[in-house]
Amino acid sequence: MKQVPQITVEEAAALVKDGDVLLGGGFGMTGNPVHLLHALAKTQTKNLTFIGNNVGEPNLGGGKLLLNGQISKMIGSFFTSNPDAVKAAQSGEVEYELLPQGTLAEAIRAGGAGIGGFYTPTSVGTLIAKGRDTKMINGQEQVFIEGIRGNVAFIRAWKADTAGNLTYRMTEQNFNRAMATAADLVIAEVEEIVPVGEIDPNFIHTPGCFVDYLVEAKVTPEDLGSSASVNRGKKVSESRMQMAKRAFAELKNGDVVNLGIGIPTLVADLIKPEDGIILHTENGMLGVGPAPEDGGGAMDYPVNAGKIPVTALKGSSYFDSADSFAMIRGGHVDVAIMGGLEVDEKGNLANWAVPGKPLLGVGGAMDLASGAKKLIVTLTHADPDGTSKVVPTCTLPLTAEGVVDLVITDLAVFAYPEGKLTLIELMPNVTIEEVRAKTAAQFIEKLS
């Protein structure tokens, strides 16, 4: 059995050259090769193209490289989790390319598998698809995405043996597994290195043939940024809770459900074990439980897509981001509940970008909107100035076309029978006259 060289973080950082394309694993700071990135931040290496879901957090992980001016281009899915990345993009200091989260994960997996590219329905009809080749496949328009490879991949695993076989812990697989296959040089930062044979072959996630170097480095709570602990200070308004309860009423025993950030997250607080509802999170977990009661963080618990520590229910499973989005695009998620900025008469959704502001954070929204079997959108009926969010035609950049099945606002519930926007229910203490006055879209009334 081969022996993979064990090196220091400084030796690993020296292997990255000016102008390299660097893949950086992690989802937020969970499963993030923070020690390798911080060692690289102490070098003079520059003009890097950094590829990752996000560019770390302020002064953490890839965030250190960004502050040092070592990154000339960033390719990712959710730059808005790091204010420094937003500032760098807005100023034009750093070039950037935004990809939907599932598209990014699959592009890396394709690159690692020697596949030149693939077609996906995700992002059809949106700004992200602009300029890309499209093709009708089985009656569905799809967008071509090229595979992604890097010169160097920095990844994080929990344990390695001396032959380079890796095992990951909880939701720390995320982008790491695909990135381990998709670079000319792969350096794995791990919590522990054990003799070959000590890891059961059944529990090896990345075979040693993909790994060139190992670095042993212990993670601490300080390395985990916003995922280090649970924030229990949230207060929820009655109207937001009403929307969450109405969305929860749509769920059935056995449903696999993905919850977006914001109002949809509140649905998790309503689910009891006897409901039999299985929560999915796009960073790699099925069977998400409530937040830890002890306030613990990602040192001891998995995290969800909001980078919040959660518990694992009996029967839970972990996987990587590419597999997670394969579940979504493959139609294995029954219901997605998402927030929205606008919905319109044709069931189009806009929930990720505002004109005049940089397009810096799409995450998994486009994949979920187009891939879930049923899409429920929760949003306040109007902006603070009274502008309706239920509109004739979306004016904001689209997330997906014709995908919305149910709209739940603080005033009413709309559905799309026969493809037409239809008012089916009023929220408590709301009149039909109020809904008519505050809705810009034309709708049919079928109140029960």
Q: Which residues pair with 237 in a beta bridge?
A: none
| Tokens (6 digits) for 285 | 């977990």
- Tell me 303's DSSP state: B
Residue 91 gets which letter from DSSP? Answer: H
Q: What are the start-end ranges of the H helices in 14-82?
A: 34-41, 62-67
Q: Would you say the C-alpha torsion 208, 210, 214, 216 has a positive or negative sign?
A: negative
- CA dist., res. 166 & res. 342, Å (int): 44
Please give the full DSSP string across 172-201, using - where no structure is assigned. G-TTHHHHTTSEEEEEEEEEEEE-TT-S-G
Question: Which pairing describes strands 342-344 and 390-391: parallel, antiparallel, or unpaired?
Answer: parallel
Determine the Cα–Cα distance for residues 178 and 175; give it in Å rounded to an integer. Answer: 6
Tell me how crowded residue 14 is: count the other CB atoms within 10 A of its CB. 14
Task: Report the DSSP beta bridge partners of residue 120.
Answer: 143
Q: Are 368 and 258 in contact (CB under 8 A)?
A: yes
CB 216 within 8 A of CB 192: yes
Q: Please count the residues of the chain.
A: 448
**282 in catalytic set:** yes
Q: Phi first, then psi: what are they for 428, rounded to 5°?
A: -55, 135
Assess contact for 445 and 426: CB atoms under 8 A: no
Which of the residues 189, 282, 342, 401 is marked catalytic? Answer: 282
Q: State the catalytic residues.
A: 282
